[in-house]
Chains A and B, each alone.
Chain A
Amino acid sequence: MTELPDGVQRREFDGRTRLATRGQPVYGEPTDGEWRCWDAGRSKLGAMLESGMEIDLTGDEGVLYLGAASGTTVSHVADFAGPTYAVEFAPRPMGDLIAVAEARENLFPLLKDARNPETYSHVVESDLDVLVQDVATRGQAGVAVDNARFLGDDGQLLLAIKARSEDVTAAPQSVFESVCAELTEAYEIIDRQRLEPSHDDHLGVVARKR
């Protein structure tokens, strides 16, 4: 099993061992002192970490997070990482994300479209260590390839592919194959794993920038 980054621990919650980070609670998750539970059922990245995928994180990384939504997952990322840029296109969840950011000095919310990285290249710094992507749009591979510009050498991509966003009618497996094939334009795939049962028809992908 890969090692967890500093700032993430396995702890007991309600008799089960689950991931936890230190920070202000965000979505009513169980807490244990200053530790708050990282619910793998609500966070694809949480599910990827919990299942022991080949993720190389040590803590304090510079992160670009695409598809931050209400900040459920990005709040945990900001708890253990360094500067964390959170891009979200929808105004409604952005309201919640702003509240999450206010409680974390290293989290920067951006109301931007992840498909147009030019619109935030003047804010997001270069040579980041990690790109986390969880966007529910068609063309998820294209988004990851376009945003590779923010990663430094050997930067990591942690991607959750949602099959139903690409094509509701196609078999998830064939969607995953075509998305992964397109990713190889900019990345080398290190590990991939289905995220069932916590997230139906999702594939977790760990890749490194070429």
Chain B
Amino acid sequence: MSDQSTDSGWFAGNTADDDLRAAIKTGSANVPTDWPAVAVDTDFAADAGDYYTTLQEATIEAAREAVAKRQAADDQQLLHAVRAMDDATRTANELAERCTEWAATQFDDVASGIDGARALATHEPTDPVAERIVSLATRIDDLAAEADELRGFIERLVPEVAPNLAEMAGPVLAARLISLAGGLNSLAKKPSGTVQVLGAENALFAHLAGRGSSPKHGIIYTHPAVNGTRPEDRGSAARALAGKLTIAARIDHYNGDMRPEIHDELDDRMATIRARADDESADPAEGSQ
């Protein structure tokens, strides 16, 4: 198999095509080197031209195999990642509350929340109680760090699974929509009215049972197009956004191209909706932004 020592090239110790491709996919090195020269020196290639020909065959095949592997069920990975991130964040917050409340009996000036726990984790414990508190705080710090890592992972993964949805909604909201729908495939098949209230199921079913008004928005409330619009116009904003998000999800699922025009269309529509507030601010009662 591939040579695992960190500073040799992808071709070191390999001759079979399979091994070369595997080395490209999984190998690594700390610093690059003049690989073509090394390859010629070590008789891997006759000359630079020969090296580049072999390199191209290997990179193309390696990329093709890696694509096939990665494309399998990417949106399902996203679904798990976003749920894990939410669980990690919620648990870290709950534990941080517990920990800082406890710590306040032992230390002065304990800040609340995860920042408080992070500060506690740096303490040098002097007695058994402090030892437990600091140990707990350390786990909370780790858990919060894992939540951040998961967010970073999601931010990288979403644009490849759903480029248009990621561009329009931002990676985290896009991941939440995919997670709530149960996958990009199911999201692409939902009508925009459903997308509009995804995440507001309790309110929706209460409404359908005859209690309360119909929800204007679900999770898409977190999008600046909705929460940045004045309350009177949020229903319109949510409807417009949900419509475009649905189109974005369908393009991503069925096609996968980046389509800049649908993002411009949403911007235009939002500008029209927000202009209503400006029109009315001619009135003495000032409309909120």
Chain A residues at the B interface, C-beta cutoff of 8 Å: 69, 83, 89-95, 97-98, 101-102, 105-111, 113, 115, 118-119, 121-127, 136-138, 149-150, 168-169
Contact = CB atoms under 8 A, between A and B. Distances in A.
Give 5 nearest A-B pairs by CB, closest first.
Answer: A90-B160, A122-B29, A121-B29, A126-B32, A91-B70
A92 B252 CA distance: 10
B52 A110 contact: no
For this complex, into which size category does the number of interface residues on chain B fall?
Answer: 35 or more
Given A92-B67, A108-B56, A110-B24, 4 more contacts: A111-B62, A122-B9, A126-B33, A149-B31
17 contacts: A90-B159, A92-B163, A92-B256, A97-B63, A98-B63, A98-B64, A101-B59, A105-B52, A106-B52, A108-B59, A111-B67, A122-B32, A123-B10, A125-B33, A125-B36, A127-B34, A138-B155
B160 A91 contact: yes
Nearest to B255: A92
Contacts, number: 108
A91 B155 CA distance: 15
A118 B30 CA distance: 5
A124 B33 CA distance: 8
B27 interface: yes
Interface in B54-100: 55-56, 59-60, 62-64, 66-67, 70-71, 74
B156 A168 contact: no
A98 B28 contact: no
A98 B10 contact: no
Contact of B59 (A69, A123, A127): A123
B205 interface: no
Q: Among A83, A90, A102, which residue has the most Cβ atoms of chain B within 10 A?
A: A90
A91 B56 contact: no
A121 B8 CA distance: 9
Contacts of A119: 28
Contact of A126 (B31, B59, B62, B258): B31
Nearest to A127: B34
A168 B169 CA distance: 10
